[in-house]
Amino acid sequence: MMSSVKVVVCFVLLTLFAQAINIVNAENVEVRVKSVTSIAKTDDNFVCATLDWWPSTKCDYGQCPWQQAGLINLDLDNKILRNAIKAFKSLRLRLGGSLEDQVVYKVGDNLECPKFQRNNDGLFGFTQGCLCMDRWDELNDLFKQTGAIITFGLNALYGKQKDHNEKGLWIGDWDTTNSRDLMNYTISKGYKIDSYELGNELCGNGVSARLTPEQYGRDMIKLKKLVQELYPDPSTQPKVLGPAGFFDEKWFKTFLQITGPNVVDAVTQHIYNLGAGVDKDLIYRIQDPFFLSQIAQTYRDLSKLIEEFGPWSAAWVGEAGGAYNSGGKDVSHTFANGFWYLDQLGMTSTFNHKVYCRQAFIGGNYGLLNTTSFIPNPDYYGALLWHRLMGPSVLSVNHNGSPYLRVYSHCSRRKPGITLLIINMSNSTYSSISVVNDLNLYTDMEVPDNGGAKPREEYHLTPKDGNIQSDVVLLNKTPLRLTSSDGIPELKPEFVDPTSPILVAPQSFVFATLRDFNAPACA
């Protein structure tokens, strides 16, 4: 008995000794939070994820990572799936993707319901597919039971034809018939739709097809009028979104000028800034702060464009998977992907983007859930913690540490104080962080924040066995695993002396909530 006690005592002493060494060797960093005013605001449901149309035959680089995760085939009764959505209480889901503009709806006079088939002459290598109303009913039952907030992407090519002179260009006015019938059916069933989006990646040079900004603008006006006609009550009227593609300043500017005031409620752009999923340098790019910062200019440019040409609109990231073609099979589902994903959430919020939709909730290599087992991947827990802890008001923050250290600050969600997101991309350096509260509007005088009387709440996320390519994440050194009933585990903070610095391990993420932090912007 005594020998066992000695072993335990020795282990504890060794742990404390190791922590003391880490504190001594840590880089001392001062983080300054400007707390008088906020610099941006997100939507209350900023975190969003996508559900895509891809069938199991969607393959890239000799692998077919979508399995049965597409909207037509997904097992909607899976307990893990339902519990994973429920855990957010109000998870925003965007239904759409590459095949969106080849989906017809079996409703009204449209009696045909084709299945997606491989065809090299089709867009993205597939023929048309179909959404039958039985499946739409099943999907909406899932959304109702889990509290999901739905954006639905409509087929923008319905009624159009390929131009014979310009490759990839589609011409003609959008035929609203099939979408009208779907909306009428949706309304008759009492299904709630938060927003309708028109088309997928048809802007600029397009991906598999494209529209001119003038034509797309006219089509968007038709969608707005259709929504206003069928949903006459402004309090329940779905928002109208577009163009759901890659930012092209000239194209987006013309589009906003054509649509005019109060047509487009949110301008949606897509982000795949990490390159191809098969790129051997993906694992290095994802930890390179200089590379990750390059996309910031795009967010700034879209925000400025909206301010000038569409101030009635909000900026959204409507789809972002990091690495395109279904993500990287050894990276996108692992802990390492959080260096990109959590940094993206922080970065876009500072540029006044209201919503960030992750590709995908399930499917491909970049799903928040494992495609076959449905077990949450590390980024799921990062998204859930953001949703629960980070409020809409964004605060300005800077620090005097390494560029491999990222820090973001928001007013805490529905609670007093602020919450910091700290990302340490360094593979060797600990950071010992002290927080300074800048309460002054007109001077550079800074007030050290002693944390107040309430304990600081810390959530430290680290990879299993220190391997950043693990798909198991630890919260405060405990692996996050589903409960015996396939529920999402409780995410408990570590309560820390508020006068002590925040110690951030190499290659880790920390959410830290300071309840007594005096931030007038959060009052």
Name the residues annotated as catalytic. 201, 319
Burial class (CB in 10 A: 0-12, 13-18, 19+), 36: middle
Nearest to residue 273, comparing CAs of 297, 256, 257, 252? Answer: 297
Residues 6+ apart with CB under 8 A from 159: 172, 173, 174, 175, 177
CA 103 to centroid of chain Cα atoms = 24
Burial 486-515 (b: 16+ CB within 10 A, else e): eebeebebeebebeebbbbbbbbbbbbbbb
Residue 339 vs residues 27, 76, 107, 292, 350: alpha-carbon distances, Å: 20, 30, 44, 9, 17
Nearest to residue 358, comparing CAs of 71, 50, 43, 15? Answer: 50
Helix (H, G, I), strand (E, B) or coil at 321: coil
> Element (H or E) spanning 380, and its range?
helix 378-389
CB 421, CB 346: distance < 8 Å: yes
Q: And the tokens for 404?
A: 């491999």
Q: Are strands 502-504 and 494-496 parallel, antiparallel or unpaired?
A: unpaired
Residues 6+ apart with CB under 8 A from 415: 513, 515
Question: Where would I find the H helices in 351-499?
Answer: 378-389
Question: Where would I find the H helices in 133-176?
Answer: 133-146
Return the CA Rg of the chain: 24
CB 92, CB 396: distance < 8 Å: no
CB 431, CB 296: distance < 8 Å: no
Residue that the structure tokens 């855990």 belong to: 87
Residue that the structure tokens 């598999």 belong to: 208
Residue that the structure tokens 């990062």 belong to: 382
Distance CA 352, CA 405 (A): 22
Query: Phi, psi at residue 211, to the nearest 5°?
Result: -125, 155
CB 31, CB 433: distance < 8 Å: yes
Burial 125-146 (b: 16+ CB within 10 A, else e): bbebbbbebebbeebbebbeeb
Residues 6+ apart with CB under 8 A from 404: 289, 424, 425, 426, 429
CA 370 to centroid of chain Cα atoms = 16
